[in-house]
Amino acid sequence: MEVKEIEVEVLPPGQKGKAEGQELARILAWVLDDLIPIPGTKYRVGLDPIIGLIPGLGDTSASAIGTILLLQAFRQGVSKVVIARMAANILINSVIGVIPGVGDFFSAAFKSNRRNFELLQRHATGSRRATTGDWVFLIALLSLVLAGVLGVAFLSAFLIMRLFQFLFS
């Protein structure tokens, strides 16, 4: 006779996905903004400013990864205004992050992903289903964030190319 294991759910089905999503968002924010302690201080730095050291691609990649928090906020019923604030945090981090040296220090201090996770925690309700208008808003906002991040990446690549042309011609 075969014994079957009994499955026990700690959270009701509607809340389980929310808890898993919150945990993913927490881990993502921690890795991007607080992963590595700076010896002798209480300050921590994440992979976001380190990845940002790669000209053009670094800030774009870190910003693209940070948009996962936007998607999670949308899934958890966060209002459009808060999602727009989260997108603004990503854009600010990306635009200033392009400035060599200064941008990476700004990114380490600004911690846009931690800010977005804190916004997500404060405003996640999950109390309503997404409407077609919500989806249109999210897609438009993500497109705007992506266009801004890519624009910054192309601008920084162009400026770096022009700098090399100037230095080596």
Residue range 19-40, pLDDT digits in tens: 667 888 889 889 898 888 989 9
Question: How many folded domains does the chain comprise?
Answer: 1
Residue 7 belongs to a domain: no
What is the value of pTM for the model shown? 0.70
Full domain range(s) for residue 32: 16-167
Residue range 95-153, pLDDT digits in tens: 888 887 788 899 889 999 999 999 998 887 766 566 788 778 878 888 888 888 788 77
Residue range 60-74, pLDDT digits in tens: 888 888 888 988 888
CA distance 48 to 61: 9
Residue 130 belongs to a domain: yes
Query: How many residues are recorded in the chain?
Result: 169
Residues in CB range of 123: below 8 A, 6 or more apart: 73, 78, 79, 82
Helical residues (DSSP H) of 45-131, grouped into ranges: 47-51, 57-75, 80-97, 102-110, 112-123
Residue whose C-alpha is closest to residue 60's, from 152, 160, 161 = 152
Specify the DSSP class assigned to residue 128: S
